[in-house]
């Protein structure tokens, strides 16, 4: 399965990205976007899996930042 993941950075301080990856992102996981590392705080299915693809949306925060807002 290939996951096409739209990453959005909470607060908008950093640009997000769209990545194709073989592992599904999970809450608490760490993802690199450019040279920075981010923690996944939400994952939502955008549509049901189709063939060998699944489209997901993930909200992330910079590692070390609090989740309260």
Q: Within a domain: residue 67?
A: no
At residue 50, φ and ψ (nearest 5 deg) are -140, 125
Look-up of token digits 């990545």: 19
Q: In this predicted structure, what is the pLDDT of residue 13?
A: 87
Q: In this predicted structure, what is the pLDDT of residue 39?
A: 97
How much is the pTM?
0.86
Q: Within a domain: residue 68?
A: no
Q: Within a domain: residue 15?
A: yes
pLDDT averaged over the chain?
92
Tell me which residue range forms the domain holding 18. 2-62
DSSP state of 23: S
Q: Within a domain: residue 69?
A: no
Q: In this predicted structure, what is the pLDDT of residue 25?
A: 97
Give the chain's domain count.
Answer: 1
Q: Within a domain: residue 28?
A: yes
């Amino acid at each position: 399965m290939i996951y096409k993941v739209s990453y959005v950075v909470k607060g908008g301080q950093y640009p997000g990205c769209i990545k194709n990856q073989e592992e599904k992102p999970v809450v608490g996981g760490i993802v690199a976007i450019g040279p920075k590392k981010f923690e996944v705080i939400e994952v939502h299915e955008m549509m049901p899996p189709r063939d060998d693809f699944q489209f997901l949306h993930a909200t992330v925060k910079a590692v070390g930042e609090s989740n309260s807002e």
